[in-house]
Amino acid sequence: MRPELLLLGSGWVPEVDQLLEERFICHRLAPVAAADRSAFVERVGAGVRGVFTTGMAGIDAALAARLPRLEIVAVHGVGVDAVDFDALTPRGIHVTNTPDVLTDDVADLAVALLLAASRRLPQLDRHVRSGAWEAKTPLAPGRSLRGKVAGIVGLGRIGRAVATRLESFGMTIRYFQRSTADRPYARSESLLALAAESDYLVVCAPGGAATRSMIDRPVLDALGPEGTLVNIARGSLVDETALVLALEEGRLGAAALDVFADEPRVPASLRERDNVVLTPHVGSFTVETRTAMGRLAVSNLVAHFDRQPLPTAVSAAAPG
C-alpha cells in the first residue's frame, strides 16, 4: 500500500507531480475551496503519513494535530520558518527541505534586482515603450556599481553566492550576522553599522521570529537617501510600513523586492513608486531549479518510507 500524503501549496513542475503520484496516494489541498478544506482534512487526515509542502505554506500546529499518523514533512524550498517545530518535534516528526539546489538561481535574481534598481531598467523599458525616447523626454541616469559597497545580511549559502557575484562587478563586500563567517569579507559590528557602511543592503537571512522586522526604520535611515534595499529572503524580515515611509519621505533611495509581508498582496504604495523594482517571489522559479527542488523533496519522502537516511533533514535546533 502506497503511503498517503497531504499536499499543501503549489509551484512544483509536472515531473514532480508524476513522481509523487507514482510513489504515493496524494491528497491535494490547493484545489479544494477554502470553505471545504476543513471537511477535506477531516476526511483524509487519519490516513496521512507525510506532508509535501512549500516554504511559504509550511504546516502549523492546528493542521498537524489533525494528522495523527504524520511521520514526515517535506518542504519544497529552503525556508522552514512556516513549519511549527514546537508542534512536530515532540511527536518525532521529521522535517526536510531542499537547500543548495536553489542557491545559484536565487543569487542570480538578487543580482538582477540590484542591477535593475541601480541602472533603472524598468524605467528605461517604459521610456522606450511609451515613445518617450523618440520624443526626446529627459531621462535620469542610473548608478554604477564599481567601487560601491554591498552589505550582505546573512552570509549563508545564498549570501555567499550573492557576494561572489557582486565582487565581479568591482563592489566591496561587507556582511553582518551573529556569527563570524569563514570568508575574507569585513564583518560589521552590527546590522545598523552594516547599513551605514553600505550603498546596497542585500537581505539573505532566514525568516522566523529571531529576524522579524530586523530591517526597521533605524536600519533604513542608516542606509540613507542614496541607498538601495534588496530583499530576496522573506518579507517578514522588513518592517514594510517603515520601508514605505522611508521611500515616500526620501529617506531611502530605492528598493528591489522579491518577497513581501503579506504575499501575494503588495501595498499600492510600493506598486506605484518609480524607485521600486518588484518581482513575485520567483527567486527559485526556473525550470531547472524547481525540478531539482522537487526531486530532492520527493527523495526525502522516499528515503523515509524506505527506512533510509534522509538526504536533507532539518533539525529543530537550527531550522533553515
Which of the following is catalytic: 27, 165, 281, 304? 281
Closest CA to 195 of 168, 213, 175, 178: 175
Distance of alpha carbon 232 from the chain centroid: 5
CA-atom Rg of the chain in angstroms: 21
| Known catalytic membership, residue 304 | no
CB 192 within 8 Å of CB 218: yes
Which of the following is catalytic: 234, 240, 290, 304? 234
Query: For the chain, what is the total number of helices (H) and then of strands (E)?
Result: 12, 12
Say whether the peptide bond before residue 309 is cis (omega within 30 degrees of 0).
no
| Known catalytic membership, residue 288 | no
Closest CA to 294 of 24, 21, 51, 16: 16
CB 204 within 8 Å of CB 152: yes
Cβ neighbours of 27 (radius 10 Å)? 20
| Known catalytic membership, residue 217 | no
Which of the following is catalytic: 42, 167, 263, 288? 263
What CA–CA distance (Å, rounded) separates 160 from 163? 5
* Residues noted as catalytic: 234, 263, 281
